[in-house]
């Protein structure tokens, strides 16, 4: 949630990433979850990519940017990254 409470992000019961604000109400963005939002509106989270794997994303102004795998990372399903938070200034996921 932003410090002034105007934007809230999260996940619904159906594992859909959700953004809420007073003017639009709840907006479902896709399969996955949102974990943090910066003061300038950038949102960090994880959405499922075209390969069906969870991948860290930044969502800003309606545009999803997939961030790729963790450098040098490896997991049991060969691809996994997750954006578990966002700095208040929007520079660090």
Number of independent structural domains in the chain: 1
**Tens of pLDDT, residue by residue, the chain (93 residues):** 999 999 999 999 999 999 999 899 999 999 999 999 999 999 999 999 888 888 899 999 999 999 887 666 665 555 567 888 888 888 888
Contacts of 45 (CB under 8 A, 6+ apart): 9, 17, 32, 33, 34, 35, 36, 56, 57, 59, 82, 83
Question: Which residues form the domain of 47?
Answer: 1-93
The structure's pTM equals 0.84
Rounded (5°) CA angle 38-43-49: 160
């Amino acid at each position: 949630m932003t410090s002034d409470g105007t934007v809230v992000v999260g996940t619904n019961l159906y594992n859909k990433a959700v953004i809420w604000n007073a003017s639009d109400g709840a907006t479902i963005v896709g399969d996955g979850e949102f974990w943090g939002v910066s003061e300038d509106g950038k949102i960090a989270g994880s959405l499922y990519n075209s390969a069906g794997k969870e991948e860290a994303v930044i969502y800003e102004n309606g545009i999803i940017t997939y961030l790729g795998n963790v450098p040098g990372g490896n997991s049991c399903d060969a691809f996994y990254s997750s954006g578990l938070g966002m700095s208040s200034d929007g520079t660090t996921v």
